[in-house]
Amino acid sequence: MHNSDETPKKRSTLDDFGCDTNDPPPPAAMGHYDPVWWLDYYEDYLRTVEEFLRKEAVSLREKYHEMESAIGGSSNVEEHLDAVQHFFPSLLRSSLFLAVYSCFDGAMKHTCDLVQEQRHCPTGVDGEKKGSDLEKYNRYLRRIAGVQLDRLAGWTDLTDYAKVRNCVVHYEGHLDCKRDASQYLIKQYIPRKSSLSVACGFYGPQIQFNQGFCEEVICTVRGFMDELNVGQWVKGYSVEPTE
């Protein structure tokens, strides 16, 4: 018999960086891929990380200023502080950005696979040989299901995110690879984004991820998938062709 006086166990959150048996399993463990669940998870994680970085920046600046006063001033102190306030936060944000983009890319690939299954197509999106992955998804869904991804809000932003993603994955975010023509486009893109900047990396100019970029990416991906209605695809329903 249920005891009405019994206090229900509080579900843990990312605020304490932990989980328990009350946390629901990831959708992948339940037999389907739900990108919306993962976006919610990453958004919660991002809020926790940004709040942690904010508090640590305040605390470290106070400690470094005390140290600087104790030793009579040192430029090295400010250099270390700059690394903690910019380099490491950028590293964390770039990792989260890659995770969010992978979530989006996986959702698009999964959508194409479901289209192939539901339309009984002998060839899947892997049969598309030309262009980037986004171009392949767009071409395949347009040809098989009449869905035009490049007409949805956020498409242009997503193609820019893809270039940034490739730069981070293949060149660790460095912008001095003359063999990659897309880096020229990235260099034009960064000045338009206050949440991105160029820092002096170990091997030359490097993308720096500032606060606000991951928030924007999550919002863009969420809006794009809502308009495409990916959530219905992963549950086996249909996506209506765009007008």
Consecutive H or E run containing 184: helix 182-189
Weakest-pLDDT range from 26-35, 102-111, 179-188? 26-35
Q: Is the pLDDT of residue 243 over 70?
A: no
What pLDDT score does 156 carry?
Answer: 95
What pLDDT score does 88 carry?
Answer: 86
Q: CA 180, CA 176: separation in Å to the nearest integer? A: 9
59-74 per-position pLDDT tens digit: 877 777 777 777 665 5
The dihedral built from the CA positions of residue 8, 13, 16 and 19, taken in this order, carries a sign that is positive
Consecutive H or E run containing 56: helix 35-70
2-58 per-position pLDDT tens digit: 444 544 433 333 333 333 334 554 544 434 567 888 899 999 999 999 998 888 878
For the chain, how many residues are written? Answer: 243
Whole-model pTM: value is 0.78
DSSP for 57-108, please give it: HHHHHHHHHHHHHHTT--HHHHHHHHIIIIIHHHHHHHHHHHHHHHHHHHHH
- Alpha-carbon distance values, 74 to 20, 66, 67, 79, 83 (Å): 46, 11, 9, 9, 15
